[in-house]
């Protein structure tokens, strides 16, 4: 053993560079591994004559401590670089995966409603969100100043003239456009976004979605309406779903009705979702008022029809037992990802 041997290793150690954790490990093996340079010097040290041990023992131990410290220092730097996103040489490390987006629950349910009515032979139509008073109210038999307008708090874009411009408060406006543009018989559903000047709460929002349905032909009866709604409820809520109709009022339908579906949670026994009644309200409907047919140039002596309208968020809340409407608008990914598998249903 010579001083030069030890100095040579010291020089190598001083010149040592390692950028990645893999290189640091290689350096450790090279100096301190089983067959490492420093380990070899210690082997040699064991067999030298005792009078030399004093001379080499101390520098050898210092060399080993210096090597351990250097390796530790390099390891820390390389580790930090990986953590800070600096390029790593180790191509076998897993890559950063992209988070996949998914359909929003409101658009999943909208599509399910559309698909069900498509199967029944309905066309799909959309209309403008910024509408005029005629399409939202007047043509639907809401006379000016009629109290029924109070049911739908309206955002006006421009008022003060005969036909104010406003944000549509319901998709029933699209049935008016369908009557204007489509040839009879008409069988159409109209999904879309609607706006009402409402305080935001667990049950109400100022922006939400509806699907409107309209069927006009000769000899359309209330029995046809009932059957269409029943088939829809069975498709949406399960084959054992039942419906009940309660008399109601809408200016554009006569007679009018609200429809409840049997509670899909307690199956009619009564629970806190259906508030103990066994029934959940899902939509409004009725026979198209002859005034509406006439206002849109359709002969009410020859033709009759039914219409219905439902809130998409409401159907989605009932289907998945979501108790606060606001979840659908906050776009918290933890909530949205709960519906990732819903498309397969």
Binding site for ligand DAH (CB under 6 A): 170, 172, 212, 250, 253, 284-286, 307-309
Minimum CB–partner distance for residue 225 and ligand DAH (Å): 9
Minimum CB–partner distance for residue 264 and ligand DAH (Å): 22
Minimum CB–partner distance for residue 303 and ligand DAH (Å): 16
Residue 290's Cβ-side half-sphere holds a number of Cα atoms within 13 Å equal to 5
Residue-by-residue DSSP string for 251-307: TTEEEEEEEEEE-TTTTTS--TTTTTSSEEEEEEEEEEPHHHHHHTT--TTT-EEEE
Minimum CB–partner distance for residue 288 and ligand DAH (Å): 8
Minimum CB–partner distance for residue 104 and ligand DAH (Å): 21
Residue 62's Cβ-side half-sphere holds a number of Cα atoms within 13 Å equal to 8
Cβ proximity to ligand DAH, 53 vs 149, nearer residue: 149
User: Residue with the closest Cβ to ligand DAH?
Assistant: 309
Nearest to 60, CA basis, from 73, 48, 76, 74: 48
Cβ proximity to ligand DAH, 13 vs 245, nearer residue: 245
Cβ proximity to ligand DAH, 274 vs 292, nearer residue: 292
**Token pair 């210096």: residue:** 66
Cβ proximity to ligand DAH, 154 vs 264, nearer residue: 154
Cβ proximity to ligand DAH, 132 vs 212, nearer residue: 212
Q: DSSP 3-state helix, strand, coil percentages of the chain (rounded to 5)?
A: 45, 20, 35
Nearest to 228, CA basis, from 285, 279, 290: 285
């Amino acid at each position: 053993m010579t001083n030069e041997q030890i100095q040579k290793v010291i020089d190598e150690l001083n010149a040592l560079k390692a950028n990645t954790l893999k290189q640091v490990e290689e350096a450790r093996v090279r100096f301190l591994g089983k067959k490492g340079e420093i380990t070899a010097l210690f082997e040699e040290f064991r067999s030298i004559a005792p009078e030399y041990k004093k001379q080499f023992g101390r520098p050898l131990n210092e060399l080993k401590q210096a090597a351990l410290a250097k390796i530790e220092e390099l390891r820390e730097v390389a580790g930090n670089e990986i953590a800070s996103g600096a390029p790593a040489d180790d191509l076998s490390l897993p890559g950063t995966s992209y988070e996949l987006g998914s359909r929003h629950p409101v658009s999943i349910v909208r599509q399910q409603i559309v698909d069900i009515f498509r199967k029944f032979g309905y066309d799909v139509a959309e209309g403008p969100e910024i509408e005029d008073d005629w399409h939202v109210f007047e043509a639907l038999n809401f006379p000016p100043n009629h109290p029924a307008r109070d049911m739908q708090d309206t955002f006006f874009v421009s008022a003060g003239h005969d036909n104010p411009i406003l944000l549509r408060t319901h998709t029933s406006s699209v049935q008016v456009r369908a009557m204007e543009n489509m040839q009879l018989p008409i069988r159409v559903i109209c999904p879309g976004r609607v706006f009402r000047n409402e305080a935001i709460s667990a049950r109400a929002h100022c922006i939400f979605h509806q699907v409107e349905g309209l069927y006009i032909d000769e000899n359309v009866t209330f029995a046809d309406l009932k059957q269409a709604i029943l088939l829809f409820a069975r498709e949406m809520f399960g084959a054992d779903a039942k419906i009940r109709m309660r008399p109601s009022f809408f200016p554009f339908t006569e007679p009018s009705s609200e429809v409840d579906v049997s509670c899909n949670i307690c199956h009619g026994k009564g629970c806190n979702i259906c508030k103990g009644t066994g029934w959940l309200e899902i939509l409004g409907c009725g026979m198209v008022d002859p005034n509406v047919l006439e206002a849109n140039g359709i002969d009410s002596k020859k033709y009759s029809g039914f219409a219905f309208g439902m809130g998409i968020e409401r159907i989605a809340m009932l289907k998945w037992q979501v108790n606060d409407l606001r979840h659908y608008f906050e776009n918290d990914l933890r909530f949205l990802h709960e519906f990732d598998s819903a498309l397969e249903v």
